[in-house]
Structure 1
Amino acid sequence: MLIALARERHFGRAAESLGLTQPTLSTGIKQLEAQLGVKLVQRGSRFGGLTPEGQRALVRARQIVGDARRLRDEMRHSHEGLSGHLRLAVIPTALTWAARLAHEFNRRHPNIDFTILSRPSAEILTMLEDLEIDAGVSYLDNEPLGRVTTRLLYRETYVLVCAPDHPLADRPGIGWGDLAETRLCLLTPDMQNRRIINRRLMEAGLAPRVPIVSNSTVVLVSHVVRGGWATILPAGLARFLAKGHDLRLVPLASADDGHAVGLVATHQEPHTPVLQSLMEAAQQLAGDEGE
Structure 2
Amino acid sequence: MHIRYLEYLIALDHERHFARAAASCNVSQPTLSAGLVSLEAQLGKRLVERERRFIGFTPEGEAVLPWARQVIAAHSNLVLAAGRANKPLSGEVRIGCIPAAMPVIGYLAQALQAAHVEVTIACHSMTSEAVLRGIRTFELDVGITYVDKAMPPDFRLLGLYRDRFVLLTGATAGLPDGTPVPVRQAIEHRLCLLPQSMQNRRILDDRLAQHGCSAQPVITADSFDALFAIVSGGGYSAFIPESYRSMVPENLRVLPIVPPLASATIGLVLPGDKFPSATAGPILAIGESLALPAQFDPV
TM-score range, shorter chain: 0.7 to 0.9
Of residues 165, 174, 188 in structure 1, which corresponds to 2:182? 174
Unaligned 5+ residue runs, structure 1?
A: none
Which of 247, 251, 265 lines up with 1:245 in the alignment?
Answer: 251
- With over 3 angstroms needed to count, the CA separation of the structure-2 counterparts of 1:205 and 1:43, relative to structure 1, is farther
Moved more, 120-129 or 55-64: 120-129
Q: Following the alignment from structure 1 to structure 2, what is the Cα–Cα distance between the partners of residues 146 and 48? A: 36
Match of 1:279 in 2: 284
* CA deviation profile, 1:154-181 (whole Å, cap 9, x unmatched): 1221111112443887862432x54543
> Does the C-alpha gap of structure 1 residues 208 and 246 become closer, same or farther in structure 2, counting only changes over 3 Å?
closer
| Partner residue, 2:237 | 230
Match of 2:12 in 1: 5
Give the match for residue 92 of structure 1: 99
Q: Residue by residue, what CA displacement relative to the aligned partner does 1:51-88 show, whole Å, maximum 9, x if unpaired?
A: 33223311221111011110111122128543332121
Distance 1:16 1:195 in 2: 40
Worse-matched range after superposition: 47-56 or 142-151: 142-151
Name the amino acid aligned to 1:248. Answer: V
Structure (1 or 2) with the greater strand fraction: 2
1:77 and 2:84 aligned: yes
Q: Percent identity?
A: 32
Residue 221 of structure 2 is aligned with which of 203, 213, 233? 213
Task: For structure 2, list consecutive stretches of 5 or more residues without a partner in the other structure.
Answer: 1-7
Distance in 1 (alpha carbons) for counterparts of 2:25 and 2:201: 33
**Shift of residue 221 of structure 1?**
1.7
Distance 1:165 1:113 in 2: 43
Change (3 A) 1:243 1:179: closer
Distance 1:168 1:21, change over 3 A: farther
Q: How far off its partner does 1:35 sit? A: 0.9
The answer to which of 87-96 and 245-254 deviates more is: 245-254
Q: Whole-Å Cα distance in 1 between the matches of residues 292 and 282 of structure 2?
A: 15
55-64 vs 152-161, greater mean Cα deviation: 55-64
1:142 deviation in Å? 5.1
TM-score with structure 1 setting the length: 0.82
Is 1:103–2:110 an aligned residue pair? Answer: yes
Alpha-carbon RMSD across the aligned residues, in angstroms, is: 3.3
Hey, what's the Cα distance between the residues in 2 that align with 1:236 and 1:40? 47
The verdict on how the C-alpha distance between 1:23 and 1:231 changes in structure 2, with shifts beyond 3 A counting, is: farther
- Contact kept? 1:154, 1:286, Cα under 8 Å: no
Cα distance in 2 between the residues matched to 1:146 and 1:227? 47
- Partner residue of 1:18 out of 19, 25, 33: 25
Task: Summarize the Cα distance change of 1:160–1:272 in structure 2 as closer, same or farther, 3 Å threshold.
Answer: same
Q: Distance in 1 between matches of 2:290 and 2:88?
A: 22
Count of aligned positions:
287
Q: Amino acid of the residue matched to residue 51 of structure 1?
A: T
Cross-structure match for 2:157: 150
1:54 aligns with 2:77: no
Q: In structure 2, the residue corresponding to 1:285 is in which secondary structure?
A: coil
Q: Distance in 1 between matches of 2:238 and 2:19?
A: 41
The equivalent position to 1:122 in structure 2, one of 129, 132, 135, is: 129
For the 8 Å contact 1:155–1:260, the answer to whether it is kept is yes
